Chains A and B, each alone.
Chain A
Amino acid sequence: MSKLNKDVSQKDVVQAVVVAEYFGNEFAPITNDTPLALLPLLNVPLIEYTLEFLSLGGIEETFLFCCSNVDTIKQHIKKSIEKSAGWSLTMQVRVIVSESCRSFGDCLRDLDAKGLIRSDFVLLEPGIVGNIKLLPILKKHVDICKADKGAAMTLVLQEAGVGQKGRCLYEELLLVATTNYRVLLHQKLGVSKKRKIEVPLEMIMDNSSVNIYHNLKDTHLAICSASVLPLFSDNFDFQTKDDFVRGLLMNEEILGSTIYWHRISGSEYAAAVTNWRMYQSISRDILHRWLYPLVPDMGISSQHRNYVHLQNNIYRSKDVHLTQNSSLIEDVIIGSGTSVADKTNVSRSIIGESVKIGKNVVIEDSYVFSNTVIKDHCDIKHSVIGHDCVIEPQCKITQACILGDGVKLHKKTVIENELIQSQKPKDELLTNKLNEKAYKLKIQNCSTEISDSEEDGLLSRKLLRLHIHEEDVPSDDESFKSTDSEDELSYTTSPVPDDTNLFLNEVIDSLARGFEDKLQCDNLILEINSSRYAYNVTVKEVNFNVVKAILTLPFQLFVGQAYLQSLRLLLVYFSPILTNYLRNVSAMGDCLQAIEEFASTNNELNECVAAVLNWFYDKDYLSEEVILDWFSSIDSNTRFYARVQPFTNWLQQAEEASSSGDE
């Protein structure tokens, strides 16, 4: 039967399925009234990008899956077809309504029930923009299917370096695949708190060669065989595409299906608007023309061109009123009918159509939708302002504020990191009312799972709705930024670590694992000793590095917690190890050296060094003489010296006291 199907599919039209519904409230309050599909991206509804992309990619029939706001979307599609949008000429769009669906998986199950899909198809999650030629990938998928009957899906991924804004932090991806592009492991790392990845040994044993990738970003685009829909129907727990991929890879034998992947290259680009950060980075990428030919000056789907592309990536509509003194600095798009008054600076921002901007306004890294009025002396940074808003003079809107449609802000309002909507929410307290046209919304934690641990707080700060300048966000990966700024970006050019460093890393890894898995300390000692021989380090170095490793661990295991507390916990746990290594005077010296060296580079330890020394002393790991000896050798001008001094003073006093007591 499958063979027959395939023969037919050769003549079939090429189909795509777009799930237009975003099952989440990431974009509230903007998406309260408008569906995500119609969210303006560079002043053009998002869905237009998706459809035009599909049409240019060679798709002939598209099923648009909607659950809510169906009428608005239908109306929009109808209007576009009337205006003979680019895609409407070569592609048929069918809107499918299913209001009962609650997830991406439901949509696909519903689609399966309807039996509309006849062959391989392109599956798009909501909010995708791109400029990929789809037909070659489809063909590749068909070829794969011929070789591997179980091939269910080809994931489309794009290469992107770590630290690139186009990589969504939620979706940091680790992929293990064979050389013929069969996916073995597909793991999204972003939200998981796990700091390690386990790759089953069989994966490497069973395949002659395996590639491990961490340089990819998900485009949320996949080529599916017809078997995908029944698989969704059979497995009711598949809610998202990621569930599907995970489930399939886990039960490869049972389901008899495999997944492949394809890397897009060259001038091809694709990404999905999944949150504000991605919205921000995609807007920027389009302004920088990565989505060419889908760029504002060439019209997205319309055949009329509104924008002119000027230097510094400024896109200006033909009827914009700019005064002589206003300046557009870089990466700006200004829609038609907008006016900008004197001494106003706009940079890295999107300004919609018919927006009125007053004098002395500063707009940076912000998104202002159509028909909004911004009066004089306002400051808008890193924020989104919906349609039809009115911002009275001297307002300050900064730090990732999102204003819904129709919000009015009074004079001199200052807001930071708020969600504001114009209608009164049903179950909100009155204290959140700014005025009758502006209500604060409770800020929901960005990650779906609400957790109160410190680590999550950090993560969510890092994953603030909009990307704010690096210097504004205290990042916890300072250690990656080397002080020599020249090397900041050259992460591939780090010097080759010497053996001792490798050894240290090994020890840290062993101890961290030992602590997490509650392994016996004896086993850990064995492990350390064996790595000692592997790296050929001296006893002295072993002592030094073991202590150093323990001192380092709190930063790995207990991020953001009080250092001393966690260190104490670790020290107690690892005391058998310490007993094993700190046996004699010279070992004690090594230990002290490790503490000194670590404290000199690390503030946390520096602050509580006296307490740590005290602990070592109490537990008899360090003897009094050794400490005093060592203390006399350190530079008395350092802060470290000052920190240790009270402790040694105390020691000396105690000694004097005891010695005098003896006499």
Chain B
Amino acid sequence: MLETELVDVINLISDIRHGKVYTSYDVAIHTEQLIEKLISEGQWNTAEDLMVLIKARINRIMSALPQESTPVNIMRHILKIIRELYDTGFKYKSEGQQSLHHLITSNVDNAEDYSKPLPSLRSSLLDHLAEYKTGLELSTDNIATQALEHIHADEIILTVGKSNTVEKFLKHAAEKRKFQVIVVEAAPLYHGHEMAINLTKSNIQTTVIPDSAVFAMMSRVNKVIIGTHTVMANGGLRAACGVHMVALAAKRYSVPIMVLAHMYKLSPLHLCYEQDAFNICASPADVLPYSSGPIINKVHVYNPVFDYVPPDLVTLFISHQGGNAPSYVYRLLSELYDPNDNEI
């Protein structure tokens, strides 16, 4: 694959690195647009060609931005859509209905051939993508509408840092019910401050606490509601640094932890428990300023960005489809992605 043909994905990577595309929702939308453009304007004739093109892009993003799973997940899902459409197009399977039995059997004969040209593929793909896009756009709202199912009156809810999804979720609940929110400030980025201000603007009684006070407060908390960066195949989380600690405290007091996750945050990858391998450390400046004097010469300062939260600490995932236990993630994954695409 020549570099010039990957210009679109290289630009996306560069935009993400420059911070032009920042939130995971933006990343998702941009990825979707990229694929849409590729399908409508790209040089491909058969489903196989298209899949090769997409896989090349996945590889590129995985090597350039290993901590960014959203674009890869979306492209993987689109691979699955292609497969399905191709299959239905040739009536391999009966109307593409997803029965459990069906899923299991279809995986066995994976030596499938996607090289036959299917003229209707392009248009039907674009239809599906449009549908997928509206799904993306409505995902946050869909999650938010479930808020009333999970928050009752006079609750104390704890959240960490800032997540647009969580913010909408809580605001939606606040329209009907009165409850309190405790926001953990999440040093050294202090996104929690912004979150607290946003919540209090919607007339929610908000308390900001430093990261150290989580354990002290947890015994009075009714629910922990957080967002996440990625949901991993085993139902564990790659979340902002500090969430593991919150989850441990919640577990100790048997406080349920709810994770609001869009479908595109589900990743089919298992990651080893060793944090070094999947974490990244940001600049230590936020922990200890560079101007601290000669002490800087002698000290190692770390500022990790992520935390791994094992699945047994998570009570519930809430996606736009509803709530699921972590043990159910594997099933969601098999609906989202084709097992053949897990390793690319």
- A: residues with CB less than 8 A from B are 55-56, 82-84, 86, 89-90, 131, 158-166, 215, 266-269, 288-293, 297-299, 303-305, 308-313, 330, 489, 491
Give A490 Cβ to nearest chain B Cβ, in Å: 9
User: Can you pick out 7 interface pairs between chain A and chain B where the beta carbons lie within 8 Å of each other?
Assistant: A90-B18, A163-B293, A163-B294, A269-B285, A303-B63, A303-B64, A304-B63
Tell me, in angstroms, the Cα distance from A215 to B291 when the chains sit together: 8
Q: Is the CB of B64 within 8 A of A289?
A: no
Partner of B294, one of A86, A161, A291, A313: A161
Given A164-B297, A266-B286; 9 other pairs, CB 8 A cutoff: A89-B14, A159-B290, A161-B296, A269-B285, A290-B285, A290-B290, A303-B10, A312-B300, A489-B294
Instruction: Note all chain A residues with C-beta closer than 8 A to B301.
Output: 288
- B63: chain A residues within 8 A (beta carbon): 303-305
Q: A292 vs B286: C-alpha distance in the bound complex, in angstroms?
A: 12
B291 touching A290, Cβ below 8 Å: no
> Residue of B at shortest CB range from A467?
B297
The answer for the CA separation of A287 and B14 in the assembled complex, in Å, is 23
| Alpha-carbon gap, A491 to B284, bound state (A) | 23
Answer yes or no: B66 CB below 8 A from chain A CBs: yes
From DSSP, what is the main secondary structure of chain B's interface residues?
Answer: helix
Asked if B64 contacts A299 (CB within 8 A), the reply is yes
Q: Which of these, B13, B64, B291, contacts A159 with CB under 8 Å? A: B291
Whose C-beta in chain A lies nearest to the C-beta of B67? A298
**Contact yes or no, B277 A308, CB < 8 A:** yes
A162-B283 Cα distance, complex, nearest whole Å: 21
CA distance A310 to B293 in the complex (A): 26
A215 neighbours in B (Cβ, 8 Å): 291
Distance in Å from the Cβ of A280 to the closest Cβ of chain B?
11
The 7 A-B pairs with the shortest beta carbon distances in the complex, nearest first, are A161-B293, A163-B294, A159-B291, A303-B64, A292-B283, A267-B285, A267-B283
Q: In the complex, are the beta carbons of A289 and B282 less than 8 A apart?
A: yes
In angstroms, Cα B49 to Cα A546, docked, is: 92
B4 to chain A, nearest CB (A): 8
Residues from chain A with Cβ under 8 Å of B291 in the complex: 158-161, 215
Q: Is the CB of A305 within 8 A of B66?
A: yes
- Report the minimum CB–CB distance from B191 to chain A (whole Å): 15
Question: Do residues B286 and A267 form an inter-chain contact, with CB atoms below 8 A?
Answer: yes
Minimum CB–CB distance for B242 against chain A, Å:
18
Q: CA of A307 to CA of B343 in the docked complex: distance in angstroms? A: 21
B88 to chain A, nearest CB (A): 36
Binary flags per residue of B268-282, CB closer than 8 Å to A gives 1, else 0: 000000001100111
Q: Nearest residue in B to A83 (C-beta to C-beta)?
A: B3
- Against A, the Cβ 8 Å flags (1 = close, 0 = not) of B1-40 are 0010000001101100110000000000000000000000
Q: Which of A83, A86, A160 contacts B290 (CB 8 A)?
A: A160
CA of A174 to CA of B283, assembled, Å = 27
Residues on B with C-beta less than 8 A from A308 are: 276-277
Bound together, the chains give a CA A537 to CA B64 distance in angstroms of: 71
Q: Contact partner of A489 among B17, B280, B285, B295, CB < 8 A?
A: B295
A330 lies within 8 A of B10 (CB): no
Residues of B within 8 A of A303 (CB): 10, 13, 60, 63-64
Write the nearest CB–CB distance from A263 to chain B, whole angstroms.
10
Please pick, from A131, A164, A292, A309, the residue contacting B296 in the complex, using a CB distance under 8 A: A164
- Considering the chains assembled together, what is the distance between the CA atoms of A93 and B224 in angstroms? 50
Distance in angstroms between the alpha carbons of A90 and B276 in the assembled complex: 32
In the bound complex, what is the Cα–Cα distance between A162 and B291 (angstroms)?
A: 9
**A214, B286: Cα distance in complex, Å:** 23
A166–B277 alpha-carbon span in the complex (Å):
29
Cα–Cα distance between A288 and B282 once the two chains are bound (Å): 10
Q: What CA separation (Å) do A310 and B280 show in the bound complex?
A: 10
**What is the size, in residues, of chain B's interface with A at 8 Å between Cβ atoms?**
32
Q: Does B98 contact A (CB under 8 A)?
A: no
Within the complex, which residue of B276, B277, B284, B297 is in contact with A165, where a contact is CB–CB below 8 Å? B297
Contacts of B60 in A (CB 8 A): 303
A292: which B residues are within 8 A, CB to CB? 281-283
Is there a chain A Cβ closer than 8 Å to B292's Cβ?
yes
- Whether A311 contacts B64 in the complex (CB less than 8 A), given A89-B14, A162-B293, A489-B294, comes out as no
Task: Report the Cα distance A296→B102, complex, angstroms.
Answer: 46
Q: Given A289-B281, A303-B60, decide whether A56 and B18 contact each other with a Cβ distance below 8 A.
A: yes
**B17 to A: closest C-beta gap in Å:** 7
A82-B3, A89-B11 given as contacts; is B17 within 8 A of A269 (CB)? no
- Distance of A89 Cα from B281 Cα, bound (Å): 26
User: Nearest residue in A to B292 (C-beta to C-beta)?
Assistant: A161
Contact A84 B3 (CB under 8 A): yes
In the assembly, what is the distance between CA of A82 and CA of B301, in Å? 37
Given contacts A161-B292, A266-B286, A305-B63, whether A310 and B14 have CB atoms under 8 Å apart is no
When C-beta atoms are compared, the residue in chain B nearest to A81 turns out to be B3
Name the A residues within 8 Å of B18 (CB-CB): 55-56, 90
Residue of B nearest to A84 (CB): B3
Chain A residues with CB under 8 Å of B3's CB are 82-84
Q: Do the beta carbons of B300 and A309 come within 8 Å of each other?
A: no
User: CA A305 – CA B296 in complex, angstroms?
Assistant: 28
Distance to closest chain B CB from A470 (angstroms) = 10
Q: Determine the residue in chain A with the shortest Cβ distance to B62.
A: A305
Please indicate the chain B residues that have their CB under 8 angstroms from the CB of A55 in the complex.
18
> In the complex the two chains form, is B10's CB within 8 Å of A164's CB?
no
* B281-330 with Cβ < 8 A to chain A: 281-286, 289-297, 300-301, 303
Cβ–Cβ contact B293 & A489, under 8 A: yes
B43 to chain A, nearest CB (A): 19
- Minimum CB–CB distance from A58 to chain B (whole Å) comes to 8
Chain A residue with Cβ nearest B6: A84
The smallest C-beta distance from A304 to any residue of chain B, in angstroms, reads 5
Complex Cα distance A308/B276, Å? Answer: 8
Residue of A nearest to B300 (CB): A313
Contact in complex: B280, A297 (CB < 8 Å) = yes
| Contact assessment for A290 and B283 in the assembled complex, using a CB-CB cutoff below 8 Å | yes
> B297's closest neighbor in chain A, by CB?
A165
Most buried by A among B13, B281, B293: B293
Contact between chains at A89 and B10 (CB < 8 Å): yes
Q: Report yes or no: B283 in contact with A84, Cβ–Cβ below 8 A.
A: no
CB distance from B89 to the nearest CB of A (A): 35
Are B296 and A269 in contact, with the CB atoms below 8 A? no
**Is the beta-carbon distance between B64 and A305 smaller than 8 angstroms?**
yes
**In the complex where A289-B281, A290-B284 touch, is A330 in contact with B300 (Cβ < 8 A)?**
yes
Contacts of A158 in B (CB 8 A): 290-291
Complex CA gap A94/B103 in Å reads 56
Closest Cβ of chain A to B158, distance in Å, is 28
CA distance A166 to B64 in the complex (A): 30
Which residues from B are CB-within-8-Å of A269? 283, 285, 290
A289, B284: Cα distance in complex, Å? 7
Report how far A131 CA is from B19 CA in the complex, Å: 13
Which residues in B have their C-beta under 8 angstroms from that of A131?
283
In the bound complex, do residue A309 and residue B284 qualify as a contact, i.e. CB atoms below 8 Å apart?
no
* Residues of B with C-beta under 8 A to A288: 284, 300-301
Residue of B nearest to A309 (CB): B281
Shortest CB-to-CB span from B1 to chain A, Å, is: 12
Docked-complex contact A309 and B276, CB < 8 angstroms:
yes
CB-CB under 8 A from B66, the residues of chain A are: 305
B residues less than 8 Å from A82 (CB atoms): 3
How far is it, in angstroms, between the C-alpha of A56 and the C-alpha of B11 when the chains are bound? Answer: 13
B283 touches A86 (CB 8 A): no
The chain B residue with its CB closest to the CB of A299 is B64
Bound-state Cα–Cα, A164 to B276, Å: 28
Most chain A beta-carbon contacts within 10 A, residue among B3, B60, B286: B3
